[in-house]
Structure 1
Amino acid sequence: MQLTRLFNEFFNSEKACGIILIFVTILSIVIANSSLQAPYINFWHTDIIGHDIVHWINDGLMAIFFLLIGLELEREVYCGELSNFKTASLPIFAATGGMLMPAAIYLLFNYGTATQRGAGIPMATDIAFAIGMLSLLGNRVNPSLKIFLTALAVIDDLGAIIIIALFYTQTISWVNLLIALCIFVVLLILNRLKVYNLIPYITGGVFMWYCMLHSGVHATISGVLLAFAIPFSRGDEKSPSYRLQHFLHKPVSFFILPVFAIANTGIAVPGNWIEGLAHAGSTGIIAGLTIGKPLGISLFSFAAVKAGLSQLPSEVSWKNIIGAGMLAGIGFTMSIFITMLAFKGETTISSAKTAILTGSVISGIAGLIWLAFSFRKTNALPE
């Protein structure tokens, strides 16, 4: 199978980003637990125009990340893995199982408790980390599995965005929301009129983000809406969608996501952090990521194939699907993002972040070992 140039660019940038994310995450945790702990943590809570730095990163810079995710999803819908039902259905079913099962497992531990609101935390998959870990296996990984995991993660992120809109939105300002939606409609009209200049879309996107920020609906939603308003045309290098996606890859991969990681993983690990992992919230997150993700993805994929609704990609075995499900348990970026929306108390947030890191590390290592073993047994694509 031949990979398109844009997919190769997307995969390679995410691969490099995954390595950087691992490095900055470790660095941030080390600094947060050193003698620089207080000034380091306080820096990220410095007030700038009514909001701290972390808030501007999470609500501002991350809207650009979601714009890129939306553009990638748009490409997949028009000419990629999601362009027809047979190819799109497997990652769709897999992503659905990969969201529902972790949430169900989390609720088994937390239903009716103060941490019940965190059910969305283990539902997310971090694209950069998942692909970064998969890339460590080199050319033993066939293109079909790469595309399956990428499509699954993109759909997973879309699901996370919908969950944010439905369950993590507080008081809504209908006036601001209506203005934001009106701007979106205007951008769609420009699309239909075949206006290919990006300036009107970017300008409208900024105003849409501002209105969404003050509407009560999470501002990052504007990034996804903007992506679907930008003309895709034929999807070639002259397409506005292609040009913007190409432009955003490196800033998002090498600046926005690392900055988000540094700002949100400054976790002061308490001396009794192991005991903290035994709390219902932490247990639910770890179990959801390490067990719920691969179980939900594998079961839903198997059911879809057996029902004739989907087909297994060429040169991809069920062992590969299970391994991809394990890597999907790396929930880092989106899981931390949802944590910041779900909880308010610093202690609860810190415990959740520690659980996310623990579950993600376990998922990443387990998935890497499982896939390495399965490739060695099948000798599908030897190096």
Structure 2
Amino acid sequence: MNPGETPAEERPGEEAGQAGLIRAPWERAFERILTPFEEFIHRQTTSGLLLIVTTVVVLLIANSGLAKGYQFLVQLPAAISIGDWSLEKTLQQWVNHGLMALYFFVIGMELKRELLVGELADLKRAALPVAAAIGGMIAPALIYLALNPEGAAARGWGIPMATDIAFAVGVLVLLAARVPKALITFLVALAIIDDLGAVLVIAVFYTQELVFEWLAAAAALFSLLIAFNLAGVRKVIPYFLVAVLLWYALLQSGVHATLAGVLGAFSVPARPRYEPSLFSAKVKNLMMRFDSIHRRGASIMTNDQLRAVVQALDDGVVAVQTPLQRLEHIWHLPVAFLVVPIFAFFNAGIPLQTGSFADALADPVALGVTAGLVFGKFIGITAASALALRTGLAQLPTDTRFSQIAAVSLLGGIGFTMSFFIAELGFSGNPEHLLMAKTGVLAASLLCGTAGFVWLWLLGRARPDQAIR
């Protein structure tokens, strides 16, 4: 044994045949290699569970003796000031206009990835989720407008169009042993297209009075981001700084500021610095140098040459990844585990003790949202999918039956995050309609999640085939 070398039996967590491996027991999970899609599904599932817990907690708070304190916190003003310049909003507004820009940034990156290399990159595979998503947006809006055709209540037509990807995927993954993997992929693609539709609805129909000078400034800043991309700029800092200015310009323009997240995401480069073959050659060369310099038992901290090789390896690993996949990987975790639960905390605190829950659901706004999410999503997704399949424009995912597509359409009625977001925009000056809209979203999400889970669980008993039933 070399001087200073730690005996194998004294190395915590090390197993026989794994000399040189130093780890704690909880680090074993990090050795698993997950595909980007598997990692995405895992995080969406965990985020969905965390979202459920947050919602239950905030509902308990909002309907307890802590309700006044909760409302005080939500409406607490906070400002950023530099000299004579100041930007002041309530904490809820900071969350909805600021933090949610990060949520839309991740959505934008997911959408760009799907368009480039995912389900939406192949027209034949994309046809079914695209058709389903379009049907699942149109039918709920029409049902809502049928129940709320005019007045201030009509502004809520966009609320039942949305699907919460974390909740919906989380429910479906709980049934992973009973449903084909392709069905999960279908739901993810549908939800991402649904998010794109919601973004377009927000941009076009839920804007305030436009200030064209600021809109022109936002257009110039977005053009600068595109110029960075075309010029091959891969450093994150220039994009970040311009994106912050873009967010502020959109905030002042009347367009919802969170759209800066989507625009910023679409400007992120999807080309790596190193091609895989070049990366492979560099890694092999660096590993030869590593092996020639390394001395068993010696600490890497005392070997400057070894540290330089490891740093070069680290730089190479970064360079072979596209900025798009690297930023999606970095930001998905904090958005899923922090931003979305914080949004739920500041927006899901609905007082339910005033009158009966059934009476609240009889309100036209609550009824429109509930009916739109439950019946609109089911009718729209199922009918549009059947039409696309019958006309030959689309094909069923592998090992999937049409009855499973119909069951998944119920999961599409879990609106939550995006539905709450649109409700805040549509009824920002009408607290009564806002309360009824959120009540409808909660009721529909609970009903759709439960019904979809039970239906898919029952379908899981049958043998899969390709027939449309």
Task: State the TM-score, normalized to the length of structure 1.
Answer: 0.96
Q: Is the 8 A contact 2:399 2:464 kept in 1?
A: no
2:346 to 230, 255, 263: 263
SS at match of 2:461: helix
Q: Which runs of 4+ in 1 moved over 4 A?
A: 234-237
User: Aligned residue for 1:37?
Assistant: 67
Relative to structure 1, the CA distance from residue 353 to residue 65 in structure 2 (aligned partners, 3 Å threshold; closer, same or farther) is same
Which shows bigger deviation, 223-232 or 268-277? 268-277
> Residue in 2 aligned with 1:168?
206
Alignment-derived partner of residue 349 in structure 1: 434
Asked whether 1:295 is paired with 2:379, we answer yes
Match of 2:360 in 1: 276
Q: Which one-letter code corresponds to 2:440 in the other structure?
A: A
Identity level (%): 43
* Amino acid paired to 2:459: S
Aligned residue for 1:376, secondary structure, equals coil
Asked if the contact 2:163/2:414 (under 8 Å) is kept, the reply is yes
Cα deviation for residue 379 of structure 1 reads 5.7
Asked whether 1:6 is paired with 2:6, we answer no
Q: State the match for 1:158 in structure 2.
A: 196
Higher relative contact order, chain-length normalized (CA < 8 Å, sep 6+): 1
Task: State the 1:357 CA deviation.
Answer: 0.1
Name which of structure 1's ranges 267-276 and 256-265 shifts more when overlaid on structure 2: 267-276
Partner of 1:22: 52
Q: Write the deviation string for residues 132-159 of structure 1: whole angstroms up to 9, x where unpaired.
A: 1111113223221111101110110110
Report the Cα offset of residue 41 of structure 1.
1.5
Secondary structure, aligned partner of 2:120: coil
Q: Does 1:53 align with 2:91?
A: yes
Q: CA deviation at 1:4?
A: 7.3
TM-score with structure 2 setting the length: 0.79
Other structure's SS at 1:51 match: strand
Q: Give yes or no for contact 2:401–2:464 (8 Å, CA) kept in 1.
A: no
**Helix, strand or coil at the partner of 1:312:** coil
Partner residue of 2:161 out of 107, 123, 133: 123
Q: How many residues in Structure 1 have an aligned counterpart in Structure 2?
A: 378
Name the residue aligned to 1:71: 109
2:424 to 333, 336, 340: 340
Measured against aligned partners, the alpha-carbon deviations of 1:181-218 in whole angstroms (never above 9, x if no partner) come to 11111111111111111111111111111111111000
Q: Does 1:253 align with 2:324?
A: no
Q: Distance in 2 between matches of 1:31 and 1:333?
A: 19
- Greater displacement, 166-175 / 4-13: 4-13
Whether 1:143 and 2:226 are equivalent positions in the alignment is no
Matched residue SS, 1:330: coil
Tell me the SS of whatever aligns to 2:177: helix
Q: What amino acid maps onto 2:461 in structure 1?
A: R
The match for 1:206 is: 244
- For 1:130 and 1:348, the matched residues in 2 are separated by 25
The letter for the 1-side match of 2:76 is T
**Structure 2 residue 395 is matched with structure 1 residue 311:** yes
Once the 2 structures are TM-superposed, how far is the Cα of residue 318 of structure 1 from its aligned partner?
0.6
**C-alpha deviation, 1:297, in angstroms:** 0.5
SS at match of 1:111: coil
1:268 partner SS: coil
Letter in 1 for 2:340: L
Is 1:215 the equivalent of 2:253? yes
What do residues 18-51 of structure 1 show as CA deviations (whole Å, max 9, x unaligned)?
A: 0000011000000100011101111111011221
State the match for 1:322 in structure 2: 406
SS at match of 1:138: coil
Letter of the 1:248 partner, please give it: W
> Which one has a bigger Cα radius of gyration?
2
**Deviation readout 1:332-359 (Å, 9 max, x if unpaired):** 0000000000012222211111111001
- Equivalent position of 2:233 in the other structure: 195
What corresponds to 2:23 in structure 1? Answer: none
Q: Which residue of 1 aligns with 2:451?
A: 366
Q: Which moved more, 1:177-186 or 1:96-105?
A: 177-186
Counterpart-to-counterpart distance in 1, 2:48 and 2:406: 21
1:251, CA displacement in angstroms?
0.1
CA contact (8 A) 2:132 2:190 kept: yes
Cα 1:4–1:183 change in 2 (3 A) is farther
Q: Distance in 1 between matches of 2:345 and 2:357?
A: 20
Determine the C-alpha separation between the residues in 2 that align with 1:345 and 1:117: 11
